[in-house]
Amino acid sequence: MPKLILIRHGQSQWNLENRFTGWWDVDVTEKGAKEAWDAGILMKEKGLAPDIGFTSVQTRAVKTMNLALEAMGRLWMPVTKNWQLNERHYGGLTGLDKAETAAKHGEEQVHIWRRSFDIPPPPMDGDSPFAMENDPRYAGINIPNTESLKDTIIRVLPYWENVIVPEIKSGKQVMISAHGNSLRALVKHLSNISDDDITGLEIPTGQPIIYELNDDAQGGEYYYLKD
């Protein structure tokens, strides 16, 4: 049975500072880099040997992939980067402190923005210092100004189906380094989690998740490699 490896990037600077990040490009912290390296060591110890990798175009996910592969002695492995694996766009919340936002708008409202299935955060203003319109990595892409989990699923799943699934079906072990919410999108699909239940799923940083897929690249149960 083909194995699929999913990993959320190691701790980022804004995970540490408790700020909404979304598409803003922050680096991993020293702790995050160690999480990524340790994940690679663990994967090697457990006998995993991915053939091909996919990441978002965001530094924290790309670095996590590279550090884990280096720790595994597989830095040579082909890796494709695509914006469709990016974190969900946090709209007008981008850059804000999560605790201060909860103090201002209430815990319940912030929980809805963070975890509801289809209610997006307020949109980002065009003149926001966090607007990404001039970022060359997004040239030609219709950058969203906010995204719910549902919106995230709408751009993650076509990439999964059209680009990643064919690699799995050809017998390759695939590793995906992505983000809390782009991975929630994928796990929701693979494990058939309902719109209501997905609100309770949290994915920790730097911990490899393993799916034993069937030959049709369909999932079901997953486990954390450390367990």
Ligand X SMILES: O=C(O)[C@H](O)COP(=O)(O)O
Contact residues for ligand X, defined by CB under 6 A: 20-22, 87, 90, 114, 179-181
115 marked as part of a ligand binding site = yes
98 marked as part of a ligand binding site = yes
Give the residue from 138, 135, 136, 88 showing the smallest Cα distance to 114: 88
Q: Beta strands 209-212 and 3-8: pairing type?
A: antiparallel
189 marked as part of a ligand binding site = no
**Of the two residues 22 and 120, which places its CB atom closer to ligand X in the complex?**
22
Q: State residue 18 phi and psi, 5-degree precision.
A: 60, 45
Among 30, 70, 87, 100, the one annotated catalytic: 87
On the 0-12 / 13-18 / 19+ scale of CB atoms within 10 A, 87 is buried
**Of the two residues 79 and 178, which places its CB atom closer to ligand X in the complex?**
178
* Catalytic residue status for 9: yes
Strand partners, 8: 178
Smallest distance, ligand X to C-beta of residue 48, A: 25
Rounded to the nearest angstrom, the gap between the alpha carbon of residue 138 and the centroid of all alpha carbons in its chain is 17
Smallest distance, ligand X to C-beta of residue 191, A: 18
**Of the two residues 63 and 179, which places its CB atom closer to ligand X in the complex?**
179
What gap in Å lies between CA 82 and CA 58, rounded to an integer?
9
Smallest distance, ligand X to C-beta of residue 226, A: 20
179 marked as part of a ligand binding site = no
Strand partners, 5: 175, 210
Residues with catalytic function: 9, 87
Known binding residues for substrate: 8-15, 21-22, 60, 87-90, 98, 114-115, 180-181
